[in-house]
Chains A and B, each alone.
Chain A
Amino acid sequence: MKGLEVELRQAAPIPLAAAFACDAGEILALVGPSGSGKSTILRAIAGSYRPQRGIVRVNGETWLDSGSGRRLPPHRRRVGMVFQSYALFPHLTAARNLMAAMGHVPRAERQARAERLLALVHLDGLEARRPAELSGGQQQRVAVARALAREPAVLLLDEPFSAVDKATRQRLYREIAELRRVLDMPVVLVTHDLDEALMLADRMVVLSRGRTLQTGTPETVTTRPVSPEVARLVDLRNLFAAEVAAQTAEATQLDWSGLRLEAARHPGLAPGTPVAWVVPDGFVVLHRRDRPSRGEHENPVKGRIDSILVTGQTAQLTLRPEHDPHLPLHFSVPLHVARRNAIEPGVEAAVSLLAQGIHLMPGGSG
Chain B
Amino acid sequence: MDWTALWLSLRLAFWTVLLLLPIGIWLGRVLAYRDFRGKGVVEALVALPLVLPPTVFGYYLLVAFGAASPVGQLWQAAFGQQLVFTFEGLLVASIIFNLPFAIQPMQRGFEAIAPEIREAAACCGMPPWRALLRIELPLAWPGILTAMVLSFAHTLGEFGIVLMVGGSIPGETKTIAIAIYDRVQAFDDRAAAEMSALLLAISLATIALTFAFSRRVGRRLG
Could you tell me which A residues sit within 8 Å of B by CB distance?
43, 46-48, 73-81, 83-85, 87-91, 100-101, 103-104, 130-133, 146-147, 149-150
Q: Which of B116, B125, B138 contacts A75 (CB 8 A)?
A: B125
A-contact bits for B65-94, CB 8 A (1 contact / 0 none): 000000000000000000000000000000
Q: Is the CB of B119 within 8 A of A74?
A: yes
Query: Is B139 an interface position by the 8 A CB rule?
Result: yes
Q: Is the CB of A150 within 8 A of B119?
A: no
Residues of B within 8 A of A89 (CB): 117, 120-121, 135, 139
A-contact bits for B102-136, CB 8 A (1 contact / 0 none): 00000000000010110111111111101100110
> Which 9 residue pairs of A and B lie closest in terms of their CB atoms, listed nearest first?
A132-B222, A74-B122, A101-B124, A87-B116, A87-B120, A81-B123, A48-B119, A90-B221, A83-B116
Residues of B within 8 A of A101 (CB): 123-125
Q: Which of A48, A85, A91, A150 contacts B139 (CB 8 A)?
A: A91
Q: Is the CB of B124 within 8 A of A146?
A: yes
Bound: A133/B220 CA distance, A: 10
Q: Is the CB of B125 within 8 A of A130?
A: no
Residues of B within 8 A of A81 (CB): 119-120, 123
> Which of chain B's residues has its CB closest to A104's CB?
B125
Q: Is the CB of A91 within 8 A of B117?
A: no
Residues of B within 8 A of A91 (CB): 138-139, 220-221
Q: Which of B117, B128, B138 contacts A87 (CB 8 A)?
A: B117
**10 chain-A/chain-B pairs, Cβ below 8 angstroms:** A46-B119, A73-B127, A75-B122, A75-B123, A84-B116, A89-B139, A90-B117, A91-B220, A133-B222, A146-B120
Bound: A46/B119 CA distance, A: 9
Q: Is the CB of B119 within 8 A of A78?
A: no
Known: A85-B116, A91-B139. A130 touches B222 (CB 8 A): yes
> Which of chain B's residues has its CB closest to A81's CB?
B123
Known: A75-B127, A90-B221, A132-B222. A100 touches B134 (CB 8 A): yes
Q: Is the CB of B222 within 8 A of A79?
A: no
> Which of chain B's residues has its CB closest to A146's CB?
B124
Q: Is the CB of B123 within 8 A of A80?
A: yes
Residues of A within 8 A of B126 (CB): 75, 100, 103
Known: A43-B119, A130-B222. A85 touches B125 (CB 8 A): no
Bound: A274/B142 CA distance, A: 66
Known: A91-B138, A91-B220. A47 touches B125 (CB 8 A): no
A200 shortest CB reach to chain B, Å: 21
A49 shortest CB reach to chain B, Å: 9
Q: Is the CB of A103 within 8 A of B222?
A: no
Residues of B within 8 A of A131 (CB): 222
Residues of B within 8 A of A85 (CB): 114, 116
Bound: A83/B117 CA distance, A: 9
B116 shortest CB reach to chain A, Å: 4
Bound: A56/B156 CA distance, A: 55
Q: Which of B116, B123, B221 contacts A79 (CB 8 A)?
A: B123
Bound: A81/B135 CA distance, A: 17
Q: Is the CB of A90 within 8 A of B125?
A: no
> Which of chain A's residues has its CB closest to B222's CB?
A132
Bound: A326/B25 CA distance, A: 64
Residues of B within 8 A of A78 (CB): 125
Q: Is the CB of A150 within 8 A of B124?
A: yes
A188 shortest CB reach to chain B, Å: 13
